[in-house]
Amino acid sequence: DGGITQSPKYLFRKEGQNVTLSCEQNLNHDAMYWYRQDPGQGLRLIYYSQIVNDFQKGDIAEGYSVSREKKESFPLTVTSAQKNPTAFYLCASSISWTAAGEKLFFGSGTQLSVL
């Protein structure tokens, strides 16, 4: 089945620790995205990548980092600089950044909590 796989499903972070969330897609999509979901706030864009080896900051990039070394992979690192990391993180992809009429495909999400 084609789709987006996020792992782990649940993740716990200790004080001062960096953690990495995995996102893999086999849809052959050029564009990939990371969103953060907090109750009552909808989805906020953290980072996006239009194509492999390229990525840009979204609306709330502080305390996060990403890489896009392979077309199918877009991992997100939550650094110790992110002081309020507890949230549900969603990875998404679309055929291309400029295909504005195309829908987003989402993974099942990772719930990150602070110990």
Partner 1 sequence: AQSVAQPEDQVNVAEGNPLTVKCTYSVSGNPYLFWYVQYPNRGLQFLLKYITGDNLVKGSYGFEAEFNKSQTSFHLKKPSALVSDSALYFCAVRGNTGGFKTIFGAGTRLFVKA
Residues of the shown chain interacting with partner 1 in the complex, contacts defined by CB under 8 A: 4, 6, 33, 35, 40-43, 45, 48, 58, 90, 92, 97-98, 100-101, 103-109, 111
Sign of the alpha-carbon dihedral angle for 76, 38, 5, 2? negative
Least Å distance, CB 81 to partner 1, is 23
User: How distant, in Å, are the alpha carbons of 7, 44, 70, 71 from that of 27?
Assistant: 17, 23, 13, 10
Nearer to partner 1, 27 or 43 (CB): 43
Least Å distance, CB 102 to partner 1, is 9
Least Å distance, CB 76 to partner 1, is 15
Nearer to partner 1, 41 or 84 (CB): 41
Nearer to partner 1, 10 or 69 (CB): 10
Nearer to partner 1, 79 or 109 (CB): 109
Least Å distance, CB 16 to partner 1, is 28
The whole-angstrom separation of Cα 72 and Cα 82 is 26
Place of tokens 């990772």: 110
Question: Using alpha carbons only, what angle is made at residue 107 by residues 105 and 113, rounded to the nearest 5 degrees?
Answer: 140
User: How distant, in Å, are the alpha carbons of 7, 17, 66 from that of 69?
Assistant: 18, 23, 10
